[in-house]
Amino acid sequence: MLRKERHGDYLGHTVQMVPHITDEIIASIRAVAEPGVDVVVGEIGGTVGDIEGLTFLEAIRQIGLQDGRENVMYIHMTYVPFIRAAGEVKTKPSQQSVAKLREIGIVPDALICRSEVSLSAEVRRKISLFCNVPVDAVIEEKDVEHTIYEVPLVLSEQGLDERVMVHFRLARPLPDLTAWKQMVETIHKPRTNVKIGVVGKYSELQDAYKSLHEALQHGGIANQASVEIVPVPAEDIENGCAAAQLKEVSGILVPGGFGLRGVEGKIRAVQYARENKVPFLGICLGLQCAVIEFTRNVCGLRGASTTEIAKDTPHPVVCLMAEQEQVTDMGASMRLGAWPCRLKPATRIHDAYGSDEISERHRHRYEVNNAFRAILEEKGLTLAGLSPDGKLVEAVESPDHPWFIAVQFHPELKSQPLAPHPLFRDFIGAALMKSS
């Protein structure tokens, strides 16, 4: 929008939240509706009434006006708290939330009610009456017992999927949820279990590595195993407080991150995994730490580091590319989005993907310094993935290690419970071999 304004596209008109920003939001939603797409699902997070979400709510209100209510369905998730001292649930938060939506012109077609306990028929009728939603469109979403992946089954049992199909006048074949039920059963009754250490710098934040944790669980599903994730703060390794934690895990994952804090701890975790033959997966900064560790301890280049944290390092094995160095805007120097990568045949990563070329999502600035590629390969590190032009290192692995792979991209963002990412699938498989 700012670029359009600077370009003169608005012809001097005052740029406003409505319609200019809402128009951009609507355009982004409609861009997803490519040929062959039957239904576009848009999610707005947060709480109704928050100032951050008002523009987005206004945008979806306008979509309903533009496309007709029969072509747009509003499903609102509300919270029905259980007051344990009183032994009853309260519907007032749901009533107030729906009232806020109706104030801005959005009338929900269905409500999904989060609760700790089951909702009685009387409670559902009350919500229906005061929220002006049909009683059979008041869907209970009680906390599930084992895994969040039970939720789609719970919603389907209450007919939410059929209600959506009826609203859009679509054919209603019986849903085949066999594979999904088998996946949930695997989570509920795994054949074995394995411990994976995640060496992070944001371990105190529960959701900081949520995508990684889910991808690890997907890898466990593929191997019919439950995965116990052991958070290992990188700074604890630096302080010598995490030796016991590293010894109890059967696989070590070093994820991404920015800045100096905890980097040396991550590098020591890589060294532990390499020297003790513990299956290792490095992601983004994890690859950079793996290359730094190998350069220091195998190539013998003391002081090797990344220019992100050590500008005067004698061996800048990780650095900005020449074309990035004159860019002062930090975001403008980042490599973002999906990029292609060519895999080296007869490598573990090639075996995992079963393909010569892949596409994965990136979010980083610093790259492996090409000036050090020769010595890395000479000392035994395999450059297993490169950009199509051969200028950027995308993946490395150690051929004399049971399973040691590090990648510059973020494979966790493409993992799904019914289609686990091959790197997480094989990583968990290797960890199971180690634990047995």
CA–CA distance, 355 with 349 (Å, rounded to integer): 9
Please classify residue 152 by burial: count the beta carbons closer than 10 Å to its beta carbon, then call 0-12 exposed, 13-18 middle and 19+ buried. middle
Most distant CA pair in the chain, distance = 74
Catalytic one of 141, 360, 367, 412: 412
- Note whether 405 and 274 are within 8 A (CB): no
Q: How far apart are CA 305 and CA 315, in angstroms?
A: 6
At residue 58's C-alpha, the angle toward residues 56 and 62, to 5°, is 115
50/48 Cα distance (integer angstroms): 6
Catalytic annotation, pick one of 113, 284, 289, 299: 284
Q: Tell me whether residue 213 is one of the annotated catalytic residues.
A: no
Three-point CA angle 75, 81, 87, nearest 5°:
140
The answer to whether residue 410 is catalytic is yes
Distance CA 146, CA 135 (A): 28
Say how far apart CA 217 and CA 268 lie, in whole Å. 25
**CA–CA separation, 350 and 399 (whole Å):** 13
Give catalytic residue positions: 284, 410, 412
